[in-house]
């Protein structure tokens, strides 16, 4: 008998809660695989998107893959989530920012919280993984490198970037890590501790 379509393929990570924060970049399409694979493993996935991210992948796509409403604004109706976006992060086991753009890395390093993604990052107490993606010259910019160094010292974990063909037709560092690499880094982070939700019910 075939499994029901809403049954996770291998729900070994049931009980974990993850926010996947998507920023504006062509690499956003890779994040679709990450969200789908997490959901199939039983992870509760909430996707948040910047306005620029929605120019590359529609929120309906991530809504279908995660099975949950997608967060796109600090001012959306509070029918399905807390309007302050703080309560969402209380039981969070990990937060992934992918693609982590030059702009978002700078915001996070400076403590700026002026959209739904940066606000979630600033309010999260869970481990935060960043998957940078940008032009090679932007990645090598001393300001970006200083921001990355600062975030690493604060405990943020970077996944990539790799080197290769970039969307801007340059070749070099700045290519977002492949979806499978990001997925394995995130799964490894989750498996390092039990789900927060499990502790809350004991």
Active site residues: 168
Whole-angstrom Cα distance, residue 13 to residue 32? 18
132 phi and psi, to 5 degrees? Answer: -65, 150
155 phi and psi, to 5 degrees? Answer: 105, 0
CB 103 within 8 Å of CB 136: no
17 phi and psi, to 5 degrees? Answer: -120, 130
CB 53 within 8 Å of CB 30: no
- Expressed in percent and rounded to 5, the helix, strand and coil fractions of the chain are 40, 20, 45
Whole-angstrom Cα distance, residue 186 to residue 200? 22
């Amino acid at each position: 008998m075939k499994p029901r379509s809403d049954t996770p393929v291998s729900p070994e990570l049931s009980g974990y809660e993850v926010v996947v924060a998507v920023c504006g970049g062509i690499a956003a399409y890779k994040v679709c695989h990450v969200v789908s694979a997490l959901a199939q493993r039983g992870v509760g996935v909430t996707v948040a998107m910047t306005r620029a991210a929605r120019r590359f992948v529609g929120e309906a796509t991530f809504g279908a893959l995660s099975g949950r409403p997608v967060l796109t604004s600090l001012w959306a109706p509070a029918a399905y989530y807390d309007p302050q976006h703080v309560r969402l992060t209380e039981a969070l086991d990990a937060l992934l920012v992918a693609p982590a753009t030059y702009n978002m890395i700078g915001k996070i390093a400076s403590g700026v919280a002026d959209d739904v993604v940066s606000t979630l990052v600033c309010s999260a107490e869970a481990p935060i993984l960043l998957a940078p993606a940008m032009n090679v010259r932007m990645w090598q910019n001393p300001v970006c490198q200083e921001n990355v160094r600062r975030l690493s010292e604060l405990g943020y974990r970077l996944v990539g970037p790799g080197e290769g063909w970039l969307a801007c037709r340059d070749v070099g560092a700045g290519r977002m890590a492949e979806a499978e690499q990001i997925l394995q880094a995130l799964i490894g982070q989750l498996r390092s501790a039990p789900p927060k939700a499990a502790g809350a019910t004991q």
